[in-house]
Amino acid sequence: MTSWTIRTKLTFWYTSIFGGTLFLFGLLTYLAFSYANNKHIDVGLEEEADGIVHYAQISKDSIEEYVMRISNEREEWASGKYVAILNRTGNLQFRSGNFAYGYLNLSSDQIKEILSGKTYFKTVKTSKWRLLRIITMPMIDSQQLIQIGIVVNKGSTHKIFLLSLTTLGCLAIIGSWVGGWFMAKKALSPIDCMIKELQKIETEYLETRLTIYPVKDEISELSGVINEMLARLENSFNHVRQFTSDSSHELRTPIAIMKAGIEVALSRERDIYNYQQVLANTLEDLGRLSKIVENLFILAKADAGRYEIHMARINLCPIITDIAEQLKLIAEPKNIFVSMEKMEDASIDGDELLIRMLLLNLVDNAVKYTPLNGTIKLSLGKDNGCAKIVIKDNGIGISPEDSPHIFDRFYRASKAGTANHTSSGLGLSICQWIVKSHRGTITVESELHKGSIFTVTLPTC
Predicted pLDDT of residue 98: 63
Question: What domains lie within the chain, and their CATH numbers?
Answer: 6-158 (3.30.450), 218-304 (1.10.287.130), 312-459 (3.30.565.10)
Q: What is the mean pLDDT of residues 147-174?
A: 80
Other C-beta atoms within 10 Å of 343: how many?
Answer: 16
User: Closest by alpha carbon to 424, among 246, 183, 280, 213?
Assistant: 246
User: Closest by alpha carbon to 376, among 434, 326, 443?
Assistant: 326
Please list, in sequence order, all residues whose beta carbon lies within 8 angstroms of the beta carbon of residue 229, skipping any fewer than 6 positions away.
none
Where residue 443 falls among pLDDT bands split at 50, 70, 90?
Answer: very high
Q: Residue 48 corresponds to which amino acid?
A: E
Q: What are phi and psi of 458, to 5 degrees?
A: -130, 140
Please list, in sequence order, all residues whose beta carbon lies within 8 angstroms of the beta carbon of residue 299, skipping any fewer than 6 positions away.
409, 426, 429, 430, 433
In this prediction, what percent of the chain has a pLDDT beyond 70? 90
β-strands 337-343, 312-315 pairing = unpaired
Predicted pLDDT of residue 439: 93
User: Closest by alpha carbon to 275, among 290, 264, 259, 285?
Assistant: 264
User: Closest by alpha carbon to 318, among 350, 346, 358?
Assistant: 346
Q: From the centroid of its chain, how far is CA 438? A: 29
Give the end-to-end CA distance of the chain in Å, rounded to a whole number: 55
In this prediction, what percent of the chain has a pLDDT beyond 90? 18
Q: Convert the pLDDT of each residue in 243-272 to its tens digit.
A: 777 777 667 777 887 888 888 888 888 888
Angle at 286 between CA 283 and CA 290, to 5 degrees: 140
Predicted pLDDT of residue 356: 92
Q: What is the mean pLDDT of residues 49-65?
A: 74
Q: What is the mean pLDDT of residues 306-321?
A: 90
Q: Convert the pLDDT of each residue in 96-148 to its tens digit.
A: 876 666 677 888 888 888 888 888 888 887 766 677 888 898 887 777 888 88
Q: What's the whole-model pTM score?
A: 0.53
β-strands 375-383, 337-343 pairing = parallel
Please list, in sequence order, all residues whose beta carbon lies within 8 angstroms of the beta carbon of residue 376, skipping any fewer than 6 positions away.
327, 331, 336, 337, 338, 339, 363, 366, 367, 370, 391, 392, 393
What mean pLDDT is reported for the chain?
83
Q: Which helix or strand (DSSP H or E) is residue 134 part of?
A: strand 131-138
How many helices and strands in the chain, by DSSP H and E? Answer: 9, 12
Q: What is the DSSP string of 212-250?
A: --SS-SHHHHHHHHHHHHHHHHHHHHHHHHHHHHHHHHH
DSSP state letter for 75:
B
User: Closest by alpha carbon to 366, among 453, 432, 450?
Assistant: 453
Other C-beta atoms within 10 Å of 6: how many?
Answer: 11
Q: What is the DSSP string of 253-306?
A: HHHHHHHHHHHHHHHS---HHHHHHHHHHHHHHHHHHHHHHHHHHHHHHHHHT-
Q: What is the mean pLDDT of residues 281-308?
A: 81
How deeply is 391 buried, as exposed, middle or buried, from its count of CB atoms within 10 A (0-12, 13-18, 19+)? buried
Please list, in sequence order, all residues whose beta carbon lies within 8 angstroms of the beta carbon of residue 413, skipping any fewer than 6 positions away.
398, 399, 402, 406
Predicted pLDDT of residue 255: 83
CB-CB contact of 434 with 389 (8 Å):
no
CB-CB contact of 101 with 124 (8 Å):
no
CB-CB contact of 372 with 334 (8 Å):
yes
Angle at 334 between CA 332 and CA 340, to 5 degrees: 55
Please list, in sequence order, all residues whose beta carbon lies within 8 angstroms of the beta carbon of residue 16, skipping any fewer than 6 positions away.
none
Kindly report each contact of residues 199-205 with a partner whose C-beta sits within 8 Å and lies 24 or more positions away, as own/partner.
201/230, 203/237
Higher pLDDT pick, 99 / 330: 330
